[in-house]
A and B are shown apart, each in its own frame.
Chain A
Amino acid sequence: MHELSVAQALVDQVEDLARQHGATGVHLIRVRIGPLAGVVAELLGTAFPLAAAGGRAEFARLEWVEAPIRVRCRTCGAETEAQANKLVCGACGDWQTEVVSGDELILETVELDIPERIEG
C-alpha cells in the first residue's frame, strides 16, 4: 500500500508549510486526486492519521476532491468524459487523446491555525 508513503510525503509538506507560517496547528488539508494518479483517496484517508500522529497536522481534517477524467481529442478536438481504462474520445472514438483532467495528485489548500502576534 503506497498510500502510506504518499500520506507521509503529504504530512511532511504540510508541516513545512505550518512551520514557515508560524502555525501552531492545522485545521484542514484539502487534496485533489484523479483516478489516474494511482492513489486511492479512501486509503490515503486511512493512512493519514498514522503519518500525522504526534505532529502539527495531527488533528487536521483531510478532505479530498475527486477529479473527473476528461480527455481532449487530437483528431476531432472534442473534450469528453472518459474512463480510467478507456481514454478514447467520446465523440469520434479515436484513441489519440490527451488527458485534461483526472491525473492530478495535488495539495490544494491548508487551513492553518496562526496565533495573532502581540505587538510590543
Chain B
Amino acid sequence: MCDTCGCNVTPGNVKFAYKPVEPGATTISVLQGLLKKNDDQADHNRAHFDARGILTVNLMSSPGSGKTALLEATIKALKSEFRIAVIEGDLETENDAERIRAQGVPAHQIVTGTACHLDAHMVHDALHQMDLSGIDLLFVENVGNLVCPASFDLGQHANVALLSTTEGDDKPAKYPVMFRGADAVVISKTDLLAVLDDFSPDKAERHIRELANPAPVLRLSARKGEGMEAWFAWLRGQLASQRARVAAGQTQRPTIQPEGALMHGARATEAA
C-alpha cells in the first residue's frame, strides 16, 4: 500500500481523506492501518516463510482448550510425513515448548511477560533463533486468549481457532472477531460430549456461519484420536496449496485481517 500518491483512497473512505484545515495546522491524509508497522513486519515474516516453502499456521483459542494437545497428537501422526516446527507463546514458563520437544521436533518458546498476544516482531525475533531449513510446516501457538491475538497478523498463512466442548457453544457469538477470522475452526475435546448436556456442535457451527465464515468446522478429540483424519487432511490440503502458491510466486494472507476487506480487497493473493 502506498501512503504518498493517494492510491489507498477508495470510494468508501474518500470523504474522510480531505477536511478543512484549521489555521496554524496542516492536515495530512494518511489512511493507513493503525498497525502498519506490525503488518509490514508480518509481510516480511511471510516472505521469509514463502522463500523456504514453509506453511505457517497460527493456532488461537482460550487457555486450556487443547492447542498443545492437538499439536502433540498432530506431530506424533505426521512427523514422518512432514518436518514440523513450533513457536509457542505464553506469558510465562517453557512448559509447552518442552512438551513439543518431547515429541522430537524443534520448538521455540516466546515468553511474553505481560503481553496478552504475539505480534509480528516477537515472531520475527523467534525466527532468528530457529533453524528452519527443511521445515515444511510451522505452527505458531498463540497466547491463550480469544480477544487480543485476533488483531495481529504474524505472517501466518492461515488461522485456526479452537473451541473446546467445555467452553460453551456460543463462544463464536461472544468473540466474533476471533472466530470470523478463522480459516478453520476445531471443536476440541469431543470425547467429553457424552457427559456434557449443554454443548451442541451444530449450534457452535451455526454461530460461526452467522459470522459469514464458511471455514470448515472440524470436530475432534486429540486425546482419544477421534476425528483427527479430517484435521490432517485439512493440513495436507493447506500445505499442497502453499507449495502451489510458492511455485507460482504467490502468497496468501489469512482470510480476514482487521481493516483488510476495505483497504486491501485485492491483496488476498498477490506476488510475494
Q: Which residues of A are in contact with B by a Cβ distance under 8 Å?
A: 1-2, 5-6, 9-10, 12-13, 17, 21, 23, 27-28, 30-32, 34, 36-39, 65, 71, 84-88, 95-101, 103-114
Question: Judging by beta carbons under 8 Å apart, are A2 and B212 in contact?
Answer: no
Selected from A2, A12, A112, the residue in CB contact (under 8 A) with B147 is A2
Number of interface residues of B (CB under 8 A): 51
Residue B216 lies at the interface, judged by CB distance under 8 Å to chain A: no
A-contact 0/1 string along B171-194, CB 8 Å cutoff: 011101110100000000000000
Question: Judging by beta carbons under 8 Å apart, are A107 and B31 in contact?
Answer: yes
Closest chain-A Cβ to B91's Cβ sits at a distance in Å of: 13
Residue B241 lies at the interface, judged by CB distance under 8 Å to chain A: no
Please indicate the chain A residues that have their CB under 8 angstroms from the CB of B200 in the complex.
Answer: none
Question: Judging by beta carbons under 8 Å apart, are A38 and B212 in contact?
Answer: no
Complex: A103 Cα to B258 Cα, angstroms: 5
Question: Judging by beta carbons under 8 Å apart, are B210 and A108 in contact?
Answer: no
Question: Judging by beta carbons under 8 Å apart, are A108 and B30 in contact?
Answer: yes
Question: Judging by beta carbons under 8 Å apart, are A111 and B25 in contact?
Answer: yes
Please indicate the chain A residues that have their CB under 8 angstroms from the CB of B36 in the complex.
Answer: 9, 13, 107
Selected from A12, A37, A100, A108, the residue in CB contact (under 8 A) with B29 is A108
Question: Judging by beta carbons under 8 Å apart, are A103 and B261 in contact?
Answer: yes
Q: Which 9 A-B pairs have the closest CB atoms?
A: A2-B148, A38-B177, A37-B258, A87-B212, A38-B151, A85-B173, A111-B25, A85-B176, A95-B209
Q: Which residues of B are in contact with A by a Cβ distance under 8 Å?
A: 12-13, 16-17, 19, 21-22, 24-38, 115-117, 119, 147-148, 150-152, 172-174, 176-178, 180, 207, 209-212, 214, 256, 258-263
Complex: A34 Cα to B24 Cα, angstroms: 31
Apart from the given pairs A106-B262, A111-B22, 7 other A-B contacts in the complex at a CB distance below 8 Å: A2-B117, A2-B147, A34-B258, A37-B259, A100-B261, A103-B261, A109-B16
Residue of B nearest to A112 (CB): B26
Closest chain-B Cβ to A108's Cβ sits at a distance in Å of: 5
Please indicate the chain B residues that have their CB under 8 angstroms from the CB of A38 in the complex.
Answer: 147-148, 150-151, 177-178, 258
Complex: A107 Cα to B28 Cα, angstroms: 10
Please indicate the chain B residues that have their CB under 8 angstroms from the CB of A39 in the complex.
Answer: 34, 151, 258
**20 examples of A-B residue contacts, CB within 8 angstroms:** A2-B117, A6-B35, A9-B36, A12-B37, A13-B32, A36-B258, A38-B147, A38-B150, A85-B174, A85-B176, A85-B210, A88-B212, A100-B12, A101-B262, A105-B258, A106-B31, A106-B259, A108-B17, A109-B19, A111-B26
Please indicate the chain B residues that have their CB under 8 angstroms from the CB of A111 in the complex.
Answer: 21-22, 25-28
Please indicate the chain B residues that have their CB under 8 angstroms from the CB of A110 in the complex.
Answer: 27-28, 30
Complex: A106 Cα to B263 Cα, angstroms: 9
**A65 and B180 contact, Cβ closer than 8 Å, known pairs A28-B25, A98-B261:** no
Please indicate the chain A residues that have their CB under 8 angstroms from the CB of B27 in the complex.
Answer: 109-112
**A95 and B210 contact, Cβ closer than 8 Å, known pairs A2-B148, A109-B19:** yes
Complex: A100 Cα to B24 Cα, angstroms: 36
Question: Judging by beta carbons under 8 Å apart, are B34 and A84 in contact?
Answer: no
Complex: A30 Cα to B29 Cα, angstroms: 10
